[in-house]
């Protein structure tokens, strides 16, 4: 994916977007994977986890 891509036929701009990911307290898992992917795609990412 790139910072600009088509989603359901609409253009989405990720530049300067912030994503909040909960459940990212483990060193592996879906929360971590989502946070890494969003960061790679250009989002500023805020993560939260209990551990």
The token pair at 44 is: 């500023």
Centroid of chain to Cα 17: 10
Q: What is the pLDDT of residue 26?
A: 76
Q: Strand 18-22 vs strand 44-48: parallel, antiparallel, or unpaired?
A: parallel
Number of other CB atoms surrounding residue 41 within 10 Å = 16
Number of domains in the chain: 1
Q: What is the pLDDT of residue 41?
A: 87
Instruction: Tell me the C-alpha distance between 28 and 35, whole Å.
Output: 11
Q: What is the pLDDT of residue 2?
A: 52
Instruction: Tell me the C-alpha distance between 25 and 31, whole Å.
Output: 8
Instruction: Tell me the C-alpha distance between 7 and 10, whole Å.
Output: 5
Domain that holds residue 11: 4-48
User: What pLDDT digit, counting tens, does each position of 4-46 carry?
Assistant: 555 554 445 656 789 999 887 777 888 889 999 999 988 999 9
């Amino acid at each position: 994916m790139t910072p600009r891509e088509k989603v359901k036929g609409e253009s989405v701009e990720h530049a300067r977007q912030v994503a909040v990911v909960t459940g990212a307290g483990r060193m592996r898992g879906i929360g971590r994977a989502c946070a890494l992917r969003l960061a790679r795609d250009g989002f500023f990412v805020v993560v939260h986890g209990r551990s």
